[in-house]
Amino acid sequence: MALLEKANRVAHQFDLTDDDVRRCCAHFINELEVGLQRRSPAVCQIPTYVTEVAYGTEKGLSLAVDLGGTNLRVCSVDLCGDSTYTTKQSKITIPTRIMTAQKASDLFHFIAEQIQHFLQTYHQELLTPDKAKTAELLSLGFTFSYPAYQNSINSGILLRWTKGFDIPDAIGQDVCHLLQEAINELHLPIKITALVNDALGALMFRAYALPLSETRTSVGAIFGTGTNGVYLEKLHNITKELEGAYPPASNEMFISCEWGSFDNGLLVQPNTKYDTSLDQVSVNRGNQMFEKRVSGMFLGELLRIALVEMHEDPEVGLFREFREDAATEADGKIPFFTQWAVDTSILSIAEADNSGELLPLRQKIADALSIPEFCIGVEDAQAVKLIANAIGKRAARLAGTALASVILKSGRSLVNPHTFPVDEDSNTTNRALIDIAVDGSVVEFYPGFEAYMRDTWRVIDGIGPAIERRIRIGISKDGSSIGAAIIALIAAQQFQNGSNVA
Ligand code: ADP
Ligand code: MG
């Protein structure tokens, strides 16, 4: 079969029709509801014990440490109380030996050391013996973006690892307690006052920075190494037990969906043989099935699997001249033939490259897959582009479906869209009905990710074109750390004035 014909056929397998979108959305809402009623293995709807969004008026200094899938960030944030702040940040790549350490203490000791190093570099004044004696502890928000069941705002039992981490010893333990112990061992003047996931951090950061007159952010989502969402839910809808304390006057609480494990049974999600191959070699087979179709950790691998198949089929002959034995990397591994070796950024380059000769994409293929340039013709690049686009578009449409589901679940779109006047002629929306904070390299860098998400909102009952236009979405760049520091500060103040009681 001709190369492009085959590429088109492969690409079509990743189609997600408008009907599929509506079916996924209905099932999604159902899983969200079940998760509020009982501890569910699917979308497990973790209560965060954070009951209020930031208003920009918060003031004070606090810290955050953010354990992402790729990077560890430490930051301090000084909130000025007028939606502005100053921050100091450090970032390092998490070594693989730490991600798969023997003991949980190896990981948490490593994190504590990074915090210590950060304080030595930027806040030496906080490490003076006097400071430690006065027992004025700095509050710290721990951004921990793995499923942890929260029993209170500053504790959480690790349910399972995702995104390539694998330290079995830590499962079932309170990750805040483990980090606090490691911090205490180093005698750092710090108290962890909040456990936060990156989606909630991103949300809080955006909410803090918005002008007071703006619609507050009520939904947050991450599309990076992994994917997850948080939204503001009515307390009376959360019928499962809430063990921890929270301010008694609250009537809402942020819920972390843990939507990476949506529809693990594949009842409504699309499934191709490429998805099946990927799942079979993953560390968490049968789990995080939504994440495996949406997030950065997996999309590059999905593309690689499809391309290898097309290369190995002599009738198709993708990169026909390329011989594995002719091109050996220094370490003997060619990314094209190595599991997990292809980054999702190649999908963004493919989507962005609309040039006739596709030179930028061909260059990227050469670099990312280690295939010699002479083996990459225009047709090869066109085939890669077709499939990359299909994988990326499906990811964005699934992402849009997830966001639509939480928007509908939170009931916010049911507000009459005419409550705030829309100036149809000038095409400006004065106020959003719903404000969403997003973060992560996939949503930030994949061209048209937002546009593909919006396509799904327009065809979903209860949203449609009128409300789609009133949904505002903003990148909360690296907001998860700053947001966690904001939450930690608010929580510390609530602990102090005693308002954080059940
Ligand atoms: P983290 O999840 O650690 O916070 P990021 O949000 O940067 O980090 O996400 C990293 C993921 O994004 C990786 O899986 C990587 O493959 C993917 N990625 C990196 N750059 C791009 C890009 N330009 N376009 C799409 N995906 C990208
Ligand atoms: Mg992140």
Closest approach atom of ligand 1 to CA 480: 4
Report pLDDT for 428: 46
Closest approach atom of ligand 1 to CA 223: 6
User: Which run of H or E residues covers position 483?
Assistant: helix 479-497
Q: Name the residue at shortest CA distance from atom 24 of ligand 1.
A: 345
How far is 322 from 210, CA to CA, in rounded Å? Answer: 52
Distances (CA, A) of 98 to 104, 179, 438: 9, 14, 27
User: How many angstroms does the Cα of residue 362 sit away from the middle of ligand 1?
Assistant: 21
How far is 76 from 121, CA to CA, in rounded Å? Answer: 12
Q: Name the residue at shortest CA distance from atom 4 of ligand 1.
A: 68
The one-character DSSP state at 424 is T
Mutate to test the pocket of ligand 1, among 364, 441, 482 (most ligand atoms within 8 A of CB): 441
Report pLDDT for 424: 47
How far is 134 from 447, CA to CA, in rounded Å? Answer: 51
Distances (CA, A) of 270 to 75, 248, 253: 40, 43, 32
Amino acid at 313: D
Closest approach atom of ligand 1 to CA 295: 14
Q: Name the residue at shortest CA distance from atom 20 of ligand 1.
A: 345
Mean pLDDT by 10 residues, the chain (502 residues): 94 98 98 92 90 94 92 96 96 94 96 97 85 74 92 94 90 97 96 95 96 92 96 96 89 96 96 98 93 97 98 95 70 88 97 97 97 96 98 98 96 57 47 92 98 98 94 92 96 83 51
The answer to whether the CB of 153 falls within 8 A of the CB of 499 is: no
How far is 196 from 216, CA to CA, in rounded Å? Answer: 19
User: How many angstroms does the Cα of residue 55 sit away from the middle of ligand 1?
Assistant: 29
Q: Which CATH architecture has domain 52-211+478-488?
A: 2-Layer Sandwich (3.30)
Surrounding residues of ion ligand 2, Cβ less than 5 A: 68, 198, 224
The domain locations on the chain are 52-211+478-488
How far is 131 from 118, CA to CA, in rounded Å? Answer: 17
The answer to whether the CB of 223 falls within 8 A of the CB of 401 is: no
Longest CA–CA span in the chain (Å) reads 76
The answer to whether the CB of 403 falls within 8 A of the CB of 21 is: no
Q: Are strands 85-93 and 428-429 parallel, antiparallel or unpaired?
A: unpaired
Closest approach atom of ligand 1 to CA 222: 6
Report pLDDT for 421: 47
User: How many angstroms does the Cα of residue 381 sit away from the middle of ligand 2?
Assistant: 30
Q: Is 324 exposed, middle or buried (0-12, 13-18, 19+ CB in 10 A)?
A: exposed
The answer to whether the CB of 198 falls within 8 A of the CB of 222 is: yes
Q: Is 91 exposed, middle or buried (0-12, 13-18, 19+ CB in 10 A)?
A: middle
Q: Which residues contact 212 (CB under 8 A, 6 or more apart)?
A: 55, 56, 57, 83
How far is 231 from 434, CA to CA, in rounded Å? Answer: 11
Q: Name the residue at shortest CA distance from atom 21 of ligand 1.
A: 345
Closest-lying ligand to the alpha carbon of 223? 1
Report pLDDT for 502: 45
How far is 393 from 453, CA to CA, in rounded Å? Answer: 9
Report pLDDT for 132: 54
Q: Name the residue at shortest CA distance from atom 23 of ligand 1.
A: 345
Closest approach atom of ligand 1 to CA 66: 4
DSSP class per residue in 394-405: HHHHHHHHHHHH
Closest approach atom of ligand 1 to CA 71: 3
Report pLDDT for 136: 77
Report pLDDT for 122: 96
Q: Which residues contact 139 (CB under 8 A, 6 or more apart)?
A: 62, 63, 190, 191, 192, 193, 194, 488, 489, 491, 492
User: How many angstroms does the Cα of residue 225 sit away from the middle of ligand 1?
Assistant: 5
What is the CB neighbour count within 10 angstroms for residue 131?
15
Q: Name the residue at shortest CA distance from atom 27 of ligand 1.
A: 345
Q: Show which residues are catalytic.
A: 145, 160, 198
How far is 385 from 347, CA to CA, in rounded Å? Answer: 8
The answer to whether the CB of 138 falls within 8 A of the CB of 189 is: yes
Does residue 203 sit in helix, strand or coil?
A: helix
Report pLDDT for 361: 98
User: How many angstroms does the Cα of residue 445 sit away from the middle of ligand 1?
Assistant: 8
Closest-lying ligand to the alpha carbon of 93? 1
User: How many angstroms does the Cα of residue 443 sit away from the middle of ligand 1?
Assistant: 9
Nearest CA among 264, 294, 231 for reference residue 53: 231
| Chain centre to alpha carbon of residue 475 | 12
**pTM of the predicted model as reported, rounded to 2 decimal places:** 0.92
User: How many angstroms does the Cα of residue 477 sit away from the middle of ligand 2?
Assistant: 9
Closest-lying ligand to the alpha carbon of 395? 1
Does residue 63 sit in helix, strand or coil?
A: strand
The answer to whether the CB of 76 falls within 8 A of the CB of 122 is: yes
Mutate to test the pocket of ligand 1, among 197, 293, 344, 481 (most ligand atoms within 8 A of CB): 344
Pocket of ligand 1 (CB under 6 A): 68-71, 224-225, 296-297, 300, 343-345, 347-348, 440-442, 445-446
